[in-house]
Structure 1
Amino acid sequence: MPAQTAPAKTQPPVAVLSRQDPKGQAARLLEHGSVLLLPDLDFDIAGFEDALYAQVSNEGVKNISYNPATGELKGAAAEGFAREQLVEIVARYSRWAEDLVRELMPAYGAKLQVGRTSWRPRSADHNLSKRKDDRRLHVDAFPSTPLQGRRILRVFRNVNPAGESRYWRVGEPFADYAGRFLRNARPMAPGAGALLQALGVTKGRRTAYDQLMLQLHDQAKDDDGYQAAAPHWDVSFPPGATWMVFTDAVVHAALGGRYAFEQTFYLPVAAMEDEAASPLRTLERLTGKALV
């Protein structure tokens, strides 16, 4: 496991949950900042090992991306039958993850929006810029895809064939993280959101919320002092582990590990059980302004 940069806390914010636990418990835990670990789930990859564990990603590509809406696969070097198998198993994971979220959090219902799926066969890249280096603590924000307040829920599964864990660092509560960096945040210029959309820079209109979230992401990753001294827990997810987390609110860093699936979902704030726990409402309280 990579060396620690600061003393780690002793009680990680990881909640272990079983499918047999009461429905709705998962949403409460996730919305209030837990990383939810589900250790008793099966996802069968038998027959797809060759497609998954070959050198399937293009040079310089960190993750292979799959769009469940179109069936398009990006970033994969595999061709022919191997590519077909890769598409099939990644699509199968996407459906499996969606079924899991809908089972554990039925209240989200039709409001849940399915995003992209990724296959992550590589370890963290050490040659990235600070802002693209996911080994540095951050919350997720997307420059080209404004969320306009929607939540980012992600479901991961480690399928490493050599017994290697996936290593994460989990940071402080979102309100504390935001409070550190908001004083240096710059407001978005009037009309900038509409202009970025018109120019095709963003897929949708960037709001004041998106602008703030991008700055919180960038400032944290740029700040060497914060990365070295920020409070954190170090967490490992062994092969066979499934975990889910709202990555727009849980400060995290992916330190190492290969061969993991990931499925992204988006959730409107109004669909949450506790809307006040969202980054949108937290930032509005801290700034005293409506942000969408």
Structure 2
Amino acid sequence: MSEKTQLEEQEAIVTFSQNSWDGQRIEGSSAVNALEQGKVLFFPHLAFPLSAQQQRLLDPALVDPKKKNISYSVGNHLIKGVADAAVEPQIRKLLESYYQSCSALISSVLPQYQHVLRKPVNSLRLHPVTVWRNNSSWRKDDSRLHVDAFPFRPNYGERILRIFTNVNPHGEDRVWRVGEPFSELATRMLPKLSSYSPRKSWLLEKIGVTKSLRSHYDHLMLQLHDKMKADGHYQQHGQQLTQRFPTGSTWVCFSDQTPHAAMSGQFMLEQTFLMSVKDMQNPELSPLKTLQRLTRQKLI
């Protein structure tokens, strides 16, 4: 383990003064460069105001007990996880509006990505973070540092871009831990990961555990996710910093690249997009290209 355990803020966070979702277009590549390096783009003054009616939707009882959050697939207008059908139209309208705001933010801050992002899905997170720790296995506990990977839906190296907004009405911060650069993480963790079995991948798809064949890349990312969460020494002593995201702030990261852990907070909106590695400004910084360099193998 590296002797350095505390990251400096400038190593992981880049702050922008923008306070409007469709604000002035950012010229140049500064935001894209930072994002593709695995840094978090932080907008401390970019709020998503809720009406009095929408404030009443901030109730954990509205989430189906079988679901972690309420989710909305923009492409097919499919909403899941609403416990009370009577408020579903209001939640749908809220999540559609959030998607439109996030699209405007992409246009102004990350215009290079404007036409290449796909499969937009967003969610309304109403439970406090403590619920994850108290009612989840370590593998599902997102208060442990991790990078995102899909256990059931292999994504073959596609990037996972996420936008988060704290809408807590009581002024409670969303507190994250943010970890080291992906290349350093992968270099250290890779020897601990189990080998890939094409036969096992075929079997998992055959019996319906995965929706498609799990690639070598997806295997490594899922292993990395699990090894990070299971490693108590890494969780305590790995390179990291604590970042507070106050009510009325927004932040953006590639969640498949940026080690992150949500430590506290409640009530958040989240927008997810997928993007092909080839559409990045610098594809060599992607987890796929990084893992291929380290393993000297083609992973998809």
TM over 0.5: yes
Note the C-alpha offset of 1:234: 0.1
The partner residue of 2:9 within 8, 11, 29 is 11
CA contact (8 A) 2:14 2:40 kept: yes
Segments of 5+ residues of structure 2 without an aligned counterpart are none
Pair 1:116 & 2:83 matched: no
CA contact (8 A) 1:23 1:105 kept: no
- Amino acid paired to 2:116: K
Moved more, 133-142 or 186-195: 186-195
Pair 1:64 & 2:64 matched: no
The partner residue of 2:188 within 180, 184, 189 is 180
**Cα distance in structure 2, aligned partners of 1:287 and 1:239:** 42
CA contact (8 A) 2:146 2:261 kept: yes
**Cα distance in structure 1, aligned partners of 2:47 and 2:109:** 15
Aligned to 1:55: 61
Aligned to 2:147: 139
Aligned to 1:228: 236
**Cα distance in structure 1, aligned partners of 2:43 and 2:275:** 21
Aligned to 1:256: 264
User: CA deviation digits over 1:46-97, x for unaligned, max 9?
Assistant: 13111234631123633211111222222221221x2211111012112221
Q: TM-score, structure 2 length as denominator?
A: 0.89
User: CA deviation digits over 1:235-264, x for unaligned, max 9?
Assistant: 000011011000111111011100100011
Residue 249 of structure 1 aligns to a residue whose secondary structure is coil
Identity among equivalent pairs (%): 39
CA contact (8 A) 2:167 2:248 kept: yes
Segments of 5+ residues of structure 1 without an aligned counterpart are 1-5
Q: TM-score, structure 1 length as denominator?
A: 0.91
Aligned to 1:3: none
CA contact (8 A) 1:23 1:106 kept: no
- Amino acid paired to 1:190: P
User: 1:66–1:269: structure 2 CA closer, same or farther, 3 Å change rule?
Assistant: same
The partner residue of 1:84 within 74, 89, 100 is 89
**Cα distance in structure 1, aligned partners of 2:290 and 2:60:** 44
Moved more, 122-131 or 43-52: 43-52
Residue 56 of structure 2 aligns to a residue whose secondary structure is helix
Residue 239 of structure 2 aligns to a residue whose secondary structure is coil
**Cα distance in structure 2, aligned partners of 1:160 and 1:252:** 20
Moved more, 223-232 or 108-117: 108-117
Note the C-alpha offset of 1:283: 0.6
User: 1:198–1:110: structure 2 CA closer, same or farther, 3 Å change rule?
Assistant: farther
Pair 1:291 & 2:283 matched: no
- Alignment of structure 1 residues 179-218 onto 2, 5 Å: 179-218=187-226
Note the C-alpha offset of 1:23: 4.8
Note the C-alpha offset of 1:31: 0.2
**Cα distance in structure 2, aligned partners of 1:111 and 1:205:** 24
**Cα distance in structure 1, aligned partners of 2:89 and 2:114:** 31
- Amino acid paired to 1:16: T
Q: Size of the alignment, in residue pairs?
A: 286
**Cα distance in structure 2, aligned partners of 1:35 and 1:154:** 10
User: 1:205–1:103: structure 2 CA closer, same or farther, 3 Å change rule?
Assistant: farther
Residue 117 of structure 1 aligns to a residue whose secondary structure is strand
**Cα distance in structure 2, aligned partners of 1:23 and 1:134:** 34
The partner residue of 2:160 within 152, 157, 160 is 152
Aligned to 2:29: 24
Moved more, 98-107 or 180-189: 98-107
Residue 55 of structure 1 aligns to a residue whose secondary structure is helix
